[in-house]
């Protein structure tokens, strides 16, 4: 469910000194060039506003590296998942460095390191001056990722979120959003007048009421536009 290239990581650096952006690079065995990262989002509060440098246990001469890393994009764009050095406050709950990316080209990427492999450069923003990463937002990132997999395989996906898991059908092209939460999905969407759209809508908690009708366009988010809600 995720690309986990831990074994082949040589070294890297990620920078969150610009709010809302994480940039940097990594080197992996099996790739001749650095992988460049340009992501939307922030670190968790233990390292937010700082840089991290890290080293892996990869062997540059590993004979299996090239095969494993084949197809790994050298320019990684997308969204930051959970990124923490495993220090207090433990907003994500792990006590070790955890780096998660929802990439546009390679989907979900996860690196899990030991504390001694990571060095924090600079002073993070004091935890009391910023809010924790929204768990709902991260659940929606995962929902978008799973929906992408489902669309590629033409099978239903599990849209994770608060409460019970929600079943998402890849035949539906849009999420239905209310107050920032995914509450349903829609297909056959057509623009109408005065900020409305006409669509077939079903709500996850009210399947029996699925029907064609009008809905505010602002409540619709395309599943495939790269903006995983």
Is residue 49 over pLDDT 50?
yes
Q: Do 155 and 56 sit in the same domain of this protein?
A: no
Is residue 68 over pLDDT 60?
yes
Q: Do 26 and 127 sit in the same domain of this protein?
A: yes
Q: Do 113 and 144 sit in the same domain of this protein?
A: no
Q: Cα separation of 120 and 117, whole Å?
A: 10
Q: Do 44 and 70 sit in the same domain of this protein?
A: yes
Greater confidence (165 vs 32) lies with: 32
3-class DSSP state of 41: coil
Query: pLDDT band for position 65 (50/70/90)?
Result: very high
Render pLDDT for 80-110 as a digit per residue (tens, 0 to 9). Answer: 999 999 999 999 889 999 999 999 998 889 9
Contact between residue 22 and residue 43 where contact means Cβ atoms under 8 Å apart: yes
- Which residue shows structure tokens 């995983």? 228
Q: Do 104 and 154 sit in the same domain of this protein?
A: no
Q: Do 158 and 64 sit in the same domain of this protein?
A: no
Q: Cα separation of 162 and 159, whole Å?
A: 10
Which spans in 24-153 are helix H?
65-69, 135-153
Residue 52 domain flag: yes
With a CB cutoff of 8 Å and minimum separation 6, the contacts of 136 are: 161, 162, 180, 181
Residue 61 domain flag: yes
Nearest to 82 by CA among 57, 28, 46: 46
Count of the separate structural domains present in the chain: 2
Q: Do 18 and 77 sit in the same domain of this protein?
A: yes
Residue 178 domain flag: yes
Q: Which domain holds residue 192?
A: 137-222
Nearest to 23 by CA among 4, 36, 12, 9: 36
Could you say which of 132, 154, 182 is where a domain stops?
132
Q: Cα separation of 218 and 72, whole Å?
A: 35
């Amino acid at each position: 469910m995720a690309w986990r290239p831990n074994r082949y990581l040589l070294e890297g650096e990620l920078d969150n000194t610009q709010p809302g952006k994480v940039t940097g690079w990594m080197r992996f065995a099996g790739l001749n060039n650095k992988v460049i990262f340009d992501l939307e989002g922030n670190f968790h509060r233990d390292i937010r506003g700082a840089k991290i440098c890290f080293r892996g246990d990869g062997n540059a001469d590993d004979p299996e590296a090239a095969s494993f890393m084949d197809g790994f994009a050298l320019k990684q764009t997308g969204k930051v998942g959970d990124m923490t050095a495993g220090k207090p406050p433990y907003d994500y709950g792990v006590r070790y460095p955890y780096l998660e990316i929802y990439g546009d080209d390679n989907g979900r990427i996860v690196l899990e390191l030991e504390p001694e492999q990571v060095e924090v450069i600079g002073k993070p923003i004091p935890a009391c001056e910023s809010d924790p990463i929204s768990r709902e937002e991260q659940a929606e990132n995962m929902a978008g990722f799973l929906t992408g997999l489902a669309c590629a395989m033409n099978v239903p996906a599990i849209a994770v979120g608060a409460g019970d898991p929600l079943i998402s059908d890849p035949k539906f092209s849009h999420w239905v959003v209310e107050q920032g939460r995914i509450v349903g999905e829609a297909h056959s969407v057509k623009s109408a007048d005065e900020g409305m759209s006409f669509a077939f809508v079903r709500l996850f908690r009210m399947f029996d009421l699925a029907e064609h009708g009008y809905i505010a366009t602002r409540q619709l988010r395309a599943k495939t536009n790269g903006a995983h809600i």
